[in-house]
Structure 1
Amino acid sequence: MVKSWVWLALATALAGCGDQQHSVKAEVTLSGDTGALTMACHQSSSGECHGIVVGAVLARGTAKVGSSATIEGVMPGARFCVSDVEADPAKCDLKEITVGTTIIRHQKVGSD
């Protein structure tokens, strides 16, 4: 009887081993004067931050942790998302971008 409880506990513990943690932290700044959107990547579980802007056109930018990427021609009101993997506009939680700086943090634990 004791052995069956040990196996059950082990199986339960191992059930979560396939789960992956996805996290990202970035600072996004939109300049109202130039329309330049700068994404500074502070942390990412993949080592890169992937940004996407959905506005008049679809634009993408990628930055390694500790660096930044700039997307030109972004107007206030466009929608923006940052992810640790290539951002998909259909799956991303797009937020309206405004002039100034926005801190983006996401964390998700689960299987892909």
Structure 2
Amino acid sequence: MVRLGVAGLAALLLGGCGGGERSALSVSLRAESSAATVQCVDTSSGLCHVAFATATPLRGDIPKGESRRFEGVVPGTPMCIEPEPVDLSKCNRTAIKQGTQKIARSRVTS
């Protein structure tokens, strides 16, 4: 009899499911005192979608390999960055920090 650990059993069960759709992105964000620059390093959708929760929300779609500067975004501003369009009311917001940050996200949907 062959014994499968939990990881082996999970791999066996998930392997037969046909998998799901994978979405991923990688960005570099540089926050200064009065602006933030977002570089879309890599993304499965071709665009990095970003939203900042400012008084009037700022949004942008940045093509892979390009950068965009957002004026009025300061350290501490909540943001969401995803490979799909961002809904600020439903995303897991992260406050940006002074300096450069690397952000990567990956998920599999069924």
Residue ranges of structure 1 left out of the alignment (5+ in a row): 1-8
Q: CA RMSD in A?
A: 1.6
Percent identity over paired residues? 30
Cα drift, residue 77 of structure 1: 1.5
Output the amino acid matched with 1:63: I
Partner residue, 1:94: 93
| Within-5 A mapping of 1:22-41 | 22-32=23-33, 35-41=34-40
| Within-5 A mapping of 1:8-23 | 13=16, 15-17=17-19, 19-23=20-24
Structure 2: how far apart are the matches of 1:87 and 1:29?
20
| Equivalent pairs, count | 97
| Within-5 A mapping of 1:56-75 | 56-75=55-74
Output the amino acid matched with 1:90: S
TM-score by length of 2: 0.80
Output the amino acid matched with 2:104: R
Higher alpha-carbon Rg = 1
Cα drift, residue 79 of structure 1: 0.2
Output the amino acid matched with 2:109: G
Structure 2: how far apart are the matches of 1:45 and 1:58?
25
Stretches of 4+ aligned residues off by more than 6 angstroms:
none
Cα drift, residue 36 of structure 1: 1.6
Counterpart contact for 1:49–1:65, Cα < 8 Å: yes
Which has the larger helix fraction?
1
Counterpart contact for 1:48–1:62, Cα < 8 Å: yes
Counterpart contact for 2:32–2:75, Cα < 8 Å: no
